[in-house]
Amino acid sequence: MIIMSVDLGKARTGLAICDKNEVLASPLAQINEKNMDVLLDKVSNVALAREVEMVIVGLPKNMDGTEGESAQFARDFASKLKEKTKLLVRMQDERGTTVTAHKYLNATNTRGKKRKNVVDSVAATIILQNYLDSVNH
């Protein structure tokens, strides 16, 4: 099944996708959009173009496991995306993914504007890989 993940941000949203065998997640794109309706359209269009069968939306929980404003935004986005695309949409805890993404980018010496342009898609890749690992083990 082709699965796409979404790492929502207030200004930038990262996307990742996996292979049909659900083994490896890869960065797909970063969308620079603040308006939720426009973002929904853009993410839906990517999902349709890539023949995505399921979407994983990162759930930004607090470190103590509670949910705040960002988590509610993610849940609202996921609900609207499911309604718009009729795809299966699931939530995946994303605690620590952005920190891990920055560590990967440090290891590859990705800095400055290039880093800013890829960090969200790298975080989306980590979210998706974590999901794939959890269902495949």
**Total-model pTM:** 0.87
90-108 as b/e: b if 16+ CB within 10 A: ebbbbeebbebbeeebeee
Please write the tens of the pLDDT for every residue from 27-71: 999 999 999 999 999 999 999 999 999 999 999 988 888 888 989
Condensed to tens digits (0 to 9), the pLDDT of residues 73-118 reads 999 999 999 999 999 999 998 876 666 665 655 566 656 666 566 6
